[in-house]
C-alpha cells in the first residue's frame, strides 16, 4: 500500500485493503491506545477481527463481565498503563453491563474511550435482537462526547475527537459502532471537500501555571498562617517532592484523600493520613485546629471534615477550574497543574518558618494515633481481628507493590494501617465507591506492570459480586506475567459489614440478616480448583506466616481470612447521636449485640483519648 493510504503519525501500516474497524484500531493506536478490556460478541466481530490482524501490536484482555472492562479501563490510566483507557463491548446487554465501570472513570476523572457495538444500520429501528437506544443510554456517562458512526469517512474525526475530549476533560467518551459499518472499506484520508473533515491526532497542550499575580495572592494568604493544613488528592499525583517542600516551608500537616494516597510518603510524621468518614483522628484534628488551608487536587465531598466556615483562610489548586471553591469558601483559586503551580508558589513564599509548635503538635498526634492503631490491631477478636491483617501486611509490603482496594470496611483498614511509600502504586473506586472494583483494578494494574507484585484487598461481599469470577481471568493470564505474585485477601465475615454499621449508627436499627448476611464461601478452595494457591486464616497465630508465604509464592494466592464482623469501624469524629443510635440498635436485638459490646468498649477507649483542638 502507498503512504497515502495511512494517516500521518499512526504506528504501523494498515492492511492492504483495510476495513473501518482496522482504521479505528490504527487511529486509536496513534493516541496511545494499545490495550482493550472487554468481552466479545457479534456486535463487535469486525473490531475483534481487526485486533487479531494487528499480530499483537494491540492487546485484547478478555474479562468475565463487561462491568470489569469499564473498571479496568479506568484503572489502566490510574496505574500508569497509558494515557487513555479503552473498553470494547458488544451491543445491548454488553453495553448495559459496561456502564458501572464507566461511571467509575467519569466520577474519578479518568480519560476513557468506550467502543460499543450496535445493531446493523439496515436493521435499526426494527426491534432487532439486542437493539437498545445506545445514544440515549450513554447520554449521561459520555456527555462530553458521544457519537454514532454512520459513514466510513467519519472514523478519523470521530476517533480524534473522542480521544482529545477524553484527555482534555479527563472524562469518558463513547463511540457507537454499527456492526455492518465495521467491515466496510476504510477511508483513512477523507476527501478535501465540503462536508468532510481533516483532523489532527497531535495531542493538545494543557494548562500549567496560573497568572503570577494570582500565585502571589495565594502566597500572601498562606504566609500569614500559624497553623497550616494541607489536603492533597489525586491531582497532586506526580508532585510528591513539591508537596513535601511546600509542607515544610509552611510548617504544615498534610491530610490525604484516598485517591491521593501516593502523593505523599505516609511514613512522614506530619502526614496525618486519610480524611473523611474512614479517615484518621489526626486528620480530623488537623482540620479542626488550622487557620490556613491549602487544597491541592482534591474535591473530597464530606463538608463536615473541612474547617468550620470562617475558621481558616484557604487556597485551592486544581487543573479543572470548575472544581474550585466547591467544598470550602476559598479565598484564592488557582487553575493549573499541581507540580508547576506548587513550584511557582514556593518561589513566592520565601523562607519557611522553621520548626513550629503546630508542626510538633501534628507530629505528636499522628504518632499517638499510630500507636493506638497498633494496639487495636493486636486486640483479640473472634476469630481474627481484621485490623491485624492490615497492620502485619504493612510491615511486609514490597517497595514496588501494586495495591488495589475495594469499597467497604476494607477501605477503612487500608486507610488506617497501610503506610503507602513513594515507590508504590495504589488506587480504588474513589468517588463512585462501587463494590467490586478491586479485582478489575488489580487485573489492570498487573497488565500495566507485569513485573511488579500485587495485593488486592477485598471484602467478602465484593468477592462474591465479581471477584470469584475474575479469578478465572487471573488463572487465564498469570503465567504471562514476569512476576506471578498476585495476592488476594478476602475479609470473610459473612456480613456486608459497612452497611450494617451504617444502619446501626444512622438509622438506629439492628443488622437485618435477610439483607446483610452472606454465604460462607471457601474462597481458598476455589483458588485451588483454578490452579492457584489458597490459604485459610482462622486464628491470629497464622497471620504473619500466611503473609510471608503469599508474598513469596510462585503463583497467585487467595487468602480466605475469617474475621470478626463485630470489629468496630469508628469514624474519627463519632457523634453523640451516632453513639445513641448504635446503642438503640443493640437494645433492639441486633444479632451481633454481644460482639458489639465485646469489641466496642476497648476500641472506643483506645481511639478517643482527648487531644488539643478536639471539638
- Supply the pLDDT for residue 4: 33
Enclosing H/E stretch for 25: helix 20-30
Residue 457: CA count within 13 A, CB half-sphere:
29
Residue 604: asked if its preceding bond is cis (omega within 30°), the reply is no
The Cα–Cα gap between 505 and 491 comes to 22
Q: What is the mean pLDDT of each run of 10 residues along the chain (615 residues)?
A: 38 70 98 98 97 96 98 98 98 97 98 97 89 97 98 97 97 98 95 91 86 97 95 96 96 97 96 93 96 97 94 96 95 96 95 87 96 92 96 97 96 95 96 96 98 98 97 98 98 87 71 86 98 98 98 98 86 59 54 56 52 41
Phi–psi pair at 174, nearest 5 degrees: -145, 145
Cell of 534: 489458597
Cell of 304: 463536615
Cell of 371: 500507636
- Supply the pLDDT for residue 509: 76
pTM value is 0.92
Q: Are 288 and 614 in contact (CB under 8 A)?
A: yes
Question: pLDDT tens across 368-404, in order?
Answer: 999 999 999 999 999 999 999 999 999 999 999 999 9
146: β partners: 174
DSSP alpha helices (H): ranges in 269-356? 281-289, 338-349
Closest CA to 70 of 93, 48, 110, 38: 38
- Supply the pLDDT for residue 593: 47
Closest CA to 140 of 94, 179, 174: 174
Query: How far is residue 381 CA from its own chain's centroid?
Result: 30
Q: What is the mean pLDDT of the chain?
A: 91
Rounded to a whole number, what is the distance in angstroms from the first to the last CA of the chain? Answer: 73
User: What are the structural domains, with CATH classification, of the chain?
Assistant: 20-183 (3.40.50.970), 212-363 (3.40.50.1220), 379-606 (3.40.50.970)
- Supply the pLDDT for residue 598: 56
**Burial tier of 558 (Cβ tally within 10 Å: 0-12, 13-18, 19+):** buried
Cell of 238: 506526580
Nearest-Å Rg of the Cα atoms of the chain is 26
The Cα–Cα gap between 303 and 295 comes to 13
**Burial tier of 44 (Cβ tally within 10 Å: 0-12, 13-18, 19+):** buried
Question: pLDDT tens across 107-146, in order?
Answer: 999 999 999 999 999 988 999 889 999 999 999 999 999 9
- Supply the pLDDT for residue 589: 57
The Cα–Cα gap between 221 and 29 comes to 46
- The Cβ of residue 265 has, within 10 Å, a number of other Cβ atoms equal to 17
Residue at grid coordinates 482534555 = 168
Amino acid at each position: 500500500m502507498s503512504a497515502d493510504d495511512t494517516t500521518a503519525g499512526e504506528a504501523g501500516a494498515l492492511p492492504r485493503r483495510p476495513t473501518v474497524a482496522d482504521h479505528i484500531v490504527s487511529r486509536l493506536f496513534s493516541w496511545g491506545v494499545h490495550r482493550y478490556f472487554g468481552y466479545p460478541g457479534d456486535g463487535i466481530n469486525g473490531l475483534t477481527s481487526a485486533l487479531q490482524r494487528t499480530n499483537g501490536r494491540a492487546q485484547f484482555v478478555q474479562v468475565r463481565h463487561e462491568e470489569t472492562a469499564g473498571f479496568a479501563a479506568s484503572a489502566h490510566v490510574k496505574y500508569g498503563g497509558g494515557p487513555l483507557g479503552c473498553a470494547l463491548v458488544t451491543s445491548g446487554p454488553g453495553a448495559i453491563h459496561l456502564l458501572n465501570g464507566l461511571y467509575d472513570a467519569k466520577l474519578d476523572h479518568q480519560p476513557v474511550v468506550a467502543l460499543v457495538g450496535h445493531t446493523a444500520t439496515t436493521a435499526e429501528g426494527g426491534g432487532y435482537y439486542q437493539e437498545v437506544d445506545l445514544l440515549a443510554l450513554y447520554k449521561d456517562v459520555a456527555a462530553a462526547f458521544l457519537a454514532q458512526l454512520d459513514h466510513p469517512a467519519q472514523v478519523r474525526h470521530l476517533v480524534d475527537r473522542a480521544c482529545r475530549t477524553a484527555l482534555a476533560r479527563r472524562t469518558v467518551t463513547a463511540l457507537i459502532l454499527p456492526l455492518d459499518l465495521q467491515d466496510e472499506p476504510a477511508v483513512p484520508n477523507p476527501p478535501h471537500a465540503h462536508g468532510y473533515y481533516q483532523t489532527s491526532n497531535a495531542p493538545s497542550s494543557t494548562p500549567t501555571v496560573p497568572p503570577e499575580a494570582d500565585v502571589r495572592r495565594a502566597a500572601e494568604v498562606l504566609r500569614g498562617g500559624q497553623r497550616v493544613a494541607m489536603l492533597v488528592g489525586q491531582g497532586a499525583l506526580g508532585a510528591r517532592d513539591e508537596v513535601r517542600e511546600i509542607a515544610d516551608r509552611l510548617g504544615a500537616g498534610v491530610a490525604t484523600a484516598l485517591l491521593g494516597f501516593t502523593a505523599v510518603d505516609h511514613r512522614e510524621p506530619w502526614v496525618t493520613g486519610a480524611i473523611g468518614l474512614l479517615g484518621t483522628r489526626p486528620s480530623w484534628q488537623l482540620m479542626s485546629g488550622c487557620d490556613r488551608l491549602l487544597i491541592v487536587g482534591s474535591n473530597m465531598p464530606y463538608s463536615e471534615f473541612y474547617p468550620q466556615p470562617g475558621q481558616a483562610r484557604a487556597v485551592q489548586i486544581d487543573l479543572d477550574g470548575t472544581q474550585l471553591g466547591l467544598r470550602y469558601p476559598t479565598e484564592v483559586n488557582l487553575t493549573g497543574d499541581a507540580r508547576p503551580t506548587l513550584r511557582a508558589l514556593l518561589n513566592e513564599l520565601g523562607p519557611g518558618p522553621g520548626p513550629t509548635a503546630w508542626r510538633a503538635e501534628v507530629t505528636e498526634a499522628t504518632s499517638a494515633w499510630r500507636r493506638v492503631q497498633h494496639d487495636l490491631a493486636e486486640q483479640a477478636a473472634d476469630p481474627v481481628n481484621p485490623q491485624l491483617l492490615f497492620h502485619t501486611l504493612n510491615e511486609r509490603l514490597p517497595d514496588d507493590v501494586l495495591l488495589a482496594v475495594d469499597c467497604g470496611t476494607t477501605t477503612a483498614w487500608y486507610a488506617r494501617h497501610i503506610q503507602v511509600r513513594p515507590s508504590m502504586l495504589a488506587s480504588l473506586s474513589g468517588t463512585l465507591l462501587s463494590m467490586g472494583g478491586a479485582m478489575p483494578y488489580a487485573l489492570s494494574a498487573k497488565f500495566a506492570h507485569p513485573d511488579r507484585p500485587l495485593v488486592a484487598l477485598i471484602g467478602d461481599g465484593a468477592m462474591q459480586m465479581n471477584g470469584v469470577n475474575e479469578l478465572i481471568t487471573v488463572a487465564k493470564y498469570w503465567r504471562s506475567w514476569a512476576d506471578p505474585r498476585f495476592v488476594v485477601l478476602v475479609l470473610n465475615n459473612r456480613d456486608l459489614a459497612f452497611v450494617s454499621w451504617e444502619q446501626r449508627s444512622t438509622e438506629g436499627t439492628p443488622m437485618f440478616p435477610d439483607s446483610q448476611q452472606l454465604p460462607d464461601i471457601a474462597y481458598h478452595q476455589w483458588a485451588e480448583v483454578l490452579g492457584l494457591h489458597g490459604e485459610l486464616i482462622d486464628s491470629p497465630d497464622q497471620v504473619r506466616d500466611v503473609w510471608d508465604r503469599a508474598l513469596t509464592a510462585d503463583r497467585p494466592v487467595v487468602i480466605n481470612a475469617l474475621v470478626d464482623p463485630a470489629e468496630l469501624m469508628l469514624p474519627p469524629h463519632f457523634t453523640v447521636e451516632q453513639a445513641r443510635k448504635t446503642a438503640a440498635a443493640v437494645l433492639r436485638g441486633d444479632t451481633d449485640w454481644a460482639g458489639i459490646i465485646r469489641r466496642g468498649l476497648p476500641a472506643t477507649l483506645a481511639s478517643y483519648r482527648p487531644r488539643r483542638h478536639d471539638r
